[in-house]
Structure 1
Amino acid sequence: MAEPNRQSGENEERIIEIEIERLRPFKEHLFQVKDDKEMFLLQESIEKYSILNPLIVRPVPDGYYEIISGHRRKHAAEKLGYRKVPVIIRVLSEDDSILSMVDSNLHRERISYSEKAFAYKLKNDVLKRKSGRKKSQVDYKKPRKRSIDIISENCGDSPKQVQRYISLTKLIPEMLQKLDDEIISFCPAVEIAALKENEQRELLKAMDYAQAIPSLSQAQRIKQLSKEKQLSLEKMEEIMCEVKKGEITRVAFTNE
């Protein structure tokens, strides 16, 4: 059943119901849709109250629609046997779609380090592109904010913290997974992200050899050796084998 019209500012937006089979995921969507506890709770809510917040979609060729916001709601509804879901259709550019997708997901209570990192990077890239508009569109009387500052204001993290998150996108997948799994802590991971890809892979070997994870001070020393072009597997193994109470947390894992 279609819901009544709602207004947004001066423009009237109409909520309609669309067949799920006509919906497509947004190709830039980077947030995981998992059958976890949160999904179970979402299904319970939809089963009890229906979908309270309509999906945001944009039209694409051949009568289909891309989901900008609502991938998890669509998945939950599909599992419950829904054939149609309520949506608001908006005509959005690629960049505006990305910004809307990122902003609608960053408010979630649980979001992985990697999701947040790539979301910040994606938004930062879009804002930088938008800031490169024609000179005639720029008001030089007003100071222009950095894209990092805009993200900070919208998301609550300091500009420095936003930059730290973006740096995490340089981690190799195996290292990023250890961060998401909370094997590696956030601050050491930021330091490790400055290493070259082959150095990160060598560090994984050193971690496996020592059966240890780097503390912040160890990660900083490894990063410094890399900057000085003096880093080697042997030196990383030596650092990782140091045992200092309260500085290293030892864990057993296999480097696969």
Structure 2
Amino acid sequence: MTDAGRADAQREKVTDIPLSEISEFPDHPFKVNADEAMLEMAESIKQYGVLVPGLVRPKADGGYEMVAGHRRMKASELAGMETIPCIVRELDDDQATIIMVDSNLQREHISPSEKAFAYKMKLAAMNRQGQRTDLTSAQVGRKLKGSESREILAEQVGESRNQISRYIRLTELTPSILEMVDDKQIAFNPAVELSYLAEKEQQALFETMQSEDCTPSLAQAQRMKKLSQDGRLNVDVIFSILTEEKPNQKEKLTIKGERIDRFFPRDFTVKQKEDLIVQLLESWYRRRQRDQER
């Protein structure tokens, strides 16, 4: 065989593979939701097809496993397609994990939980695989220490080593609390502190947050972490911490507009309404003061 023939044989080809023969990547950390962007992608696929092929690897028991292209695969299903163009590549578990994470980290919107599990999966794969700087390096095949892998990962994704560790801590949260982090009901910094609570403590915390309609501040989360480490955190302590008044979260009085709009001229601005309410309250207060002095 000529050199050109060997190169052609080694060149990866794009193949149309039935969707029914492709399974998802195990423990895929990135959510594939049928949101507006997904529906737009499905509409585009209906018109123009899949422009960028997916990447799959063959499974030992037959069929294929999606490595990069989960959203394209879902959009193809929604578009009513039966096949999807893919590159088939032989990859071991660690190689496939690293490619899967890297291809998804390019997305514009990534939730904290997606980053957390993706960083954890890639870091574990890097530690198992070892990292080589070039093909002739004496370090080829050398296993990396955890700190070295974290340094390389931090550089690759543009985060600090400490931030990588903090994201990975989120994987210790229970699913219900982690969902609150993704929904921005709990801020990132308090969430990291809460990840040190035991599972039962987190469950008690979640139930208290639901019943009292509140979430912990960073200072409160840090106190709960310390009490947990000292073995002194329980349901009653969680309740007392969560229900204490926070300096920046004093109770506010809110009046719905529809309850008072009928009392004002239609052209009144919000500021004019507020000023008039304060004037009327001051008048009412002075009248009460006079009545009490009689």
Aligning the two structures, in what range does the TM-score lie when normalised by the shorter sequence? 0.7 to 0.9
1:209 Cα deviation after fit: 4.5
Contact 1:212 1:240 in 2 (8 A): yes
Contact 1:191 1:223 in 2 (8 A): yes
Tell me what 1:129 maps to: 128
Q: How far apart are the structure 1 equivalents of 2:130 and 2:250? A: 44
* 1:77 to 2:79 alignment: no
Tell me what 1:3 maps to: none
Q: Report the count of equivalent residues.
A: 238
More helix by share: 2
Max Rg structure: 2
Contact 1:212 1:249 in 2 (8 A): no
Q: C-alpha deviations, 1:169-192, integer Å up to 9, x for none?
A: 000111111112221111110000
Supply the AA of the counterpart residue of 2:153. Answer: I
Supply the AA of the counterpart residue of 1:222. Answer: M
Tell me what 2:178 maps to: 176
Tell me what 1:87 maps to: 86
Q: How far apart are the structure 1 equivalents of 2:63 and 2:145? A: 41
Supply the AA of the counterpart residue of 1:221. Answer: R
* Bigger mean CA deviation after superposition, 154-163 or 202-211: 202-211
1:165 Cα deviation after fit: 0.7
* Bigger mean CA deviation after superposition, 209-218 or 118-127: 209-218
Distance of aligned partners of 1:53 and 1:188 in 2 relative to their CA distance in 1, 3 Å threshold: same
SS of equivalent residue, structure 1 residue 146: helix
Q: How far apart are the structure 1 equivalents of 2:190 and 2:106? A: 25
1:44 Cα deviation after fit: 2.8
Q: Percent identity?
A: 41
Aligned pair partner of 2:200 in 189, 193, 198: 198
Tell me what 1:220 maps to: 222
Unmatched 5+ residue regions in structure 2? 1-6, 133-137, 253-294
1:122 Cα deviation after fit: 0.8
Q: Does 1 or 2 have the higher relative contact order (CA < 8 Å, sep 6+)?
A: 1
1:247 Cα deviation after fit: 5.0
More strand by share: 1
Distance of aligned partners of 1:71 and 1:240 in 2 relative to their CA distance in 1, 3 Å threshold: same
Q: How far apart are the structure 2 equivalents of 1:244 and 1:177? A: 24
Q: C-alpha deviations, 1:24-76, integer Å up to 9, x for none?
A: 22223222221111211211332343212100011124541111111110111
Contact 2:55 2:67 in 1 (8 A): yes
Unmatched 5+ residue regions in structure 1? 1-7, 251-256
Q: C-alpha deviations, 1:73-132, integer Å up to 9, x for none?
A: 011112212222211111000111111111111111122221211111111111111239
Contact 2:180 2:186 in 1 (8 A): yes
Q: How far apart are the structure 2 equivalents of 1:215 and 1:244? A: 8
Distance of aligned partners of 1:172 and 1:13 in 2 relative to their CA distance in 1, 3 Å threshold: same
Distance of aligned partners of 1:208 and 1:85 in 2 relative to their CA distance in 1, 3 Å threshold: closer
Q: How far apart are the structure 1 equivalents of 2:76 and 2:131? A: 40
Tell me what 2:287 maps to: none
Alignment of structure 1 residues 231-246 onto 2, 5 Å: 231-246=233-248
Supply the AA of the counterpart residue of 1:114. Answer: S
Structure 2 length as normaliser, TM-score? 0.73
Contact 2:127 2:146 in 1 (8 A): no
Alignment of structure 1 residues 40-51 onto 2, 5 Å: 40-51=39-50
Q: C-alpha deviations, 1:185-210, integer Å up to 9, x for none?
A: 11110000011111111222332453
SS of equivalent residue, structure 2 residue 11: strand
Q: How far apart are the structure 2 equivalents of 1:48 and 1:144? A: 47
Supply the AA of the counterpart residue of 2:98. Answer: L
Q: How far apart are the structure 2 equivalents of 1:38 and 1:72? A: 10
* Bigger mean CA deviation after superposition, 119-128 or 209-218: 209-218
